[in-house]
Amino acid sequence: MSNYIAIDIGGTQIRAGLYPPDGLIPITLERTPTRHPSSTPLERLINLIASIWPADNEIACIGAAAPGPIDPRSGIIHEAPNMQGWINMPLRKHLEDRFHVPVALGNDANLAAMGEWRYGAGKGHHDLVYLTVSTGIGGGIIIDDQLMVGANGLAAELGHVTVLPGGPMCGCGLRGHLEAVASGPAMAHWAEQELQRGVISSLLPGPGLTAKAISSAASAGDSLAIAVLARSGTFIGRAIADYLHIFNPSIVIIGGGVSQAGSLLMDPMRIAMQENVLSPHYTENLILTTAALGDEAGLMGALALARSRSLETKTSPSIAN
């Protein structure tokens, strides 16, 4: 039986694992810094794959999670943030030309959703909403056991919906998006404003004021830090209520660094969700939980994608083209 290669291309490192047909334990797992003076990110990626390539050449499919908007049908990365020159980059073609096996690509947040669905907190569910809350807010959607990608692979930008019209500027240049009020930097920004207003807190203004610092201070009982987490959780909970009406999932999974803040974030989120839901039918058997795979979600999603794509290829040989 053939093996699989899963890749996670991140802003700071690229990871590549060689996996057996089943199970999550890699035969080999290697990593390399994404940026290095010696070579381009694409060269580094290709060298990393070559370094774990099996001697018997038996690879059924390579699955890759990459940042930024991607068209999974064409295999083109529209624009990868922090990856110089990766604009309309035909990554699938590069890898297929070099390795002569089918390659499947996906956006990192979408594939994190797929990872949680196949191997993590969402196992057994058919309709899943995944939100990752860290520097930005991204998402991934499983509908009826299918990853939702949209007409050009740009779907599930769940952080870029307006929750506070006219509100703070978002990283994307529009105002009042969920990301602009509830991401890690948005939390730090609001805490900074409150400190400037004279609110008493153990938090210190400046570059050390991060979501992680806020989370630690909240755990130690700092009331401003607790309020910051509650505010972020409340905005996310309201957005989740909208997502229940839109998708009617059986599970909502919160991933990303900020989700590690625990109940001080999740409890206000749950309350806001309940307060803003249309009918109890939406929450009756709903699970709202944190992600199970942590930083592995993207890599596990790439593995799930490779394994599912290889199944499709067997029944319909044209899909790999």
Among 78, 98, 212, 270, binds a second copy (CB under 8 A): 78
Residue burial 233-253, b: 16+ Cβ < 10 Å; e: rest: bbbbbbbbbbbbeebebbbbb
Relative to beta strand 128-133, strand 251-255 is parallel
C-alpha count within 13 angstroms, C-beta hemisphere, residue 179: 21
- Check if the beta carbon of residue 273 is closer than 8 Å to that of residue 254: no
User: How many chain residues bind a second copy (CB under 8 A)?
Assistant: 42
Q: Which is nearer to a second copy, 170 or 303 (CB)?
A: 170
Which span (38-46, 261-269, 272-280, 305-313) binds a second copy, by CB under 8 A?
Answer: 272-280
Q: Which is nearer to a second copy, 9 or 158 (CB)?
A: 158
Sorted by sequence, the CB contacts under 8 Å of residue 20 that are 6+ apart come out as 1, 3, 4, 27
Distance CA 1, CA 65 (A): 24
Q: Is 111 in the site for a second copy (CB under 8 A)?
A: no
Per-residue contact string for residues 216-235; x = within reach of a second copy by CB under 8 A: --------------------
Residue 209 is classified by DSSP as -
- How far apart are CB 286 and a second copy at their closest, in Å? 8
Q: Is 165 in the site for a second copy (CB under 8 A)?
A: yes
- How far apart are CB 165 and a second copy at their closest, in Å? 7
Q: Read out DSSP for 299-312?
A: HHHHHHHHHHHHHH
Distance CA 18, CA 56 (A): 13
Q: Which is nearer to a second copy, 163 or 218 (CB)?
A: 163
- How far apart are CB 125 and a second copy at their closest, in Å? 8
Residue 210 is classified by DSSP as -
Q: Is 263 in the site for a second copy (CB under 8 A)?
A: no
Among 51, 57, 146, 263, binds a second copy (CB under 8 A): 146
Q: Is 144 in the site for a second copy (CB under 8 A)?
A: yes
Write out the two tokens for 176. Answer: 């009042």
Among 27, 87, 174, 220, binds a second copy (CB under 8 A): 174
Which span (6-14, 162-170, 207-215, 313-321) binds a second copy, by CB under 8 A?
Answer: 162-170
- How far apart are CB 198 and a second copy at their closest, in Å? 27
Pseudo-torsion of CA 65, 67, 72, 78, nearest 10°? -150
Interacting residue ranges for a second copy, rule: CB under 8 A: 69, 78, 125-127, 143-144, 146, 148-158, 160-165, 172, 174, 238, 241-242, 245-250, 276, 278-279, 281-282, 285
